[in-house]
């Protein structure tokens, strides 16, 4: 059973007037089959955690460790992380002009699986995943992220999730900008993947809304670059009624 272990993670970025520490000692263990919600105010460092785990070059690890089944994730290239089974659905996915969704998915699947999926079963896999997500078949021929609506971007992320079957899935603000119907469809997709019991999910969100559809095993409150409190699903209810005020008493991140 795959386990992602984050220990005392410190991350900085370069800013105009020097270096800014954003993550200030994050400890978290995510096992396959578990869903962890990471919640917190804007600017608390949630996306930085996601990008750091995915290996984004902007973020410098200044301390701590991240391992997947004992293997040092921080030493891995972005591609190696994907092959090892770490998946990040980007909060603001980039456009890849001229590359169709269909080709993009097949290339990604080839990279992750280590061999090209057999064309015939692959076409079926994509078709059925797209149907489940209520996506029009013509979507497969569009250029990645070019002119995608918010909902289309999110569906595309979940489509990747369903096809790539990662061990650890990091979903950053998957709920942002979705209307209720789209939120239901996207959540159902995440739940189908979860139901397999093979994926450990890090569900990053500012709002508790998505947690009505995707029930977490653990809830962590992120504040000022670290986990300020952890609990079960009931912690989300508390946040819903009380907000984040208690965690940011010292003022916003500086």
Rounded to the nearest 10 degrees, the angle between the axes of helix 150-164 and helix 119-132 is 140
Contacting residue, 3, 5, 7, 13, with ligand ADP by CB under 6 A = 13
Secondary structure (3-state) at 240: helix
Contacting residue, 9, 26, 35, 46, with ligand ADP by CB under 6 A = 46
Options 39-47, 78-86, 121-129, 213-221: segment touching Mg ion (CB under 5 A):
39-47
224 lies in the site for Mg ion, by CB under 5 A = no
In the region spanning residues 57 to 76, those forming contacts with ligand ADP, defined by CB under 6 A, are 58
15 lies in the site for ligand ADP, by CB under 6 A = yes
22 binds, among Mg ion, ligand ADP, none (CB under 5 to 8 A by kind): ligand ADP
Is 223:248 a contact under the CB 8 Å cutoff? yes
Contacting residue, 35, 44, 47, 224, with Mg ion by CB under 5 A = 47
Residue 98's Cβ-count burial label (10 Å; 0-12, 13-18, 19+) is: exposed
Structure tokens at 175: 């709920």
Got the DSSP string for 144-199?
A: ETTT--HHHHHHHHHHHHHHH--SEEEEESTTTT--HHHHHHHHHHHHHHHHTT--
Least CB distance to Mg ion at residue 20 (A): 15
Contacting residue, 99, 188, 233, 253, with ligand ADP by CB under 6 A = 253
Separation between Cα atoms, residue 251 and residue 254, nearest integer Å = 8
Separation between Cα atoms, residue 181 and residue 119, nearest integer Å = 32
Least CB distance to ligand ADP at residue 23 (A): 8
Interacting residues toward ligand ADP by CB under 6 A: 13, 15, 22, 40, 42-48, 58, 253
Interacting residues toward Mg ion by CB under 5 A: 42, 46-47
């Amino acid at each position: 059973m795959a386990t992602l272990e984050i220990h005392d993670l410190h991350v900085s970025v370069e800013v105009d007037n020097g270096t800014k520490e954003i993550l200030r000692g994050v400890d978290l263990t995510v096992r396959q089959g578990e869903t962890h919600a990471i919640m917190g105010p804007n600017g608390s460092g949630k996306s930085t955690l996601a990008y750091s785990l995915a290996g984004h070059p902007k973020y410098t690890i200044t301390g701590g460790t991240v391992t997947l089944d004992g293997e040092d994730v921080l030493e891995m290239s972005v591609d190696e992380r994907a092959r090892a089974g770490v998946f990040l659905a980007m909060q603001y996915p980039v456009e890849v002009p001229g590359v169709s969704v269909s080709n993009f998915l097949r290339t990604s699947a080839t990279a992750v699986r280590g061999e090209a999926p057999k064309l015939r079963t692959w076409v079926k896999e994509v078709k059925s995943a797209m149907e489940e997500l209520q996506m029009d078949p013509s979507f497969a021929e569009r250029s990645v992220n070019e002119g995608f609506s918010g909902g289309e971007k999110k569906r595309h992320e979940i489509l990747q999730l369903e096809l790539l079957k990662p061990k650890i899935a990091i979903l950053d603000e998957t709920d942002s900008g979705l209307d209720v119907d789209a939120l239901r469809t996207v959540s159902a997709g995440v739940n189908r993947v979860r139901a397999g019991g093979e994926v450990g999910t890090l569900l990053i969100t500012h709002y508790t809304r998505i947690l009505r559809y995707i029930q977490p095993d653990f809830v962590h409150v992120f504040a000022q670059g670290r986990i300020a409190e952890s609990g079960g699903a009931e912690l989300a209810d508390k946040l819903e009624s009380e907000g984040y005020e208690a965690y940011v008493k010292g003022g916003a991140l500086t």
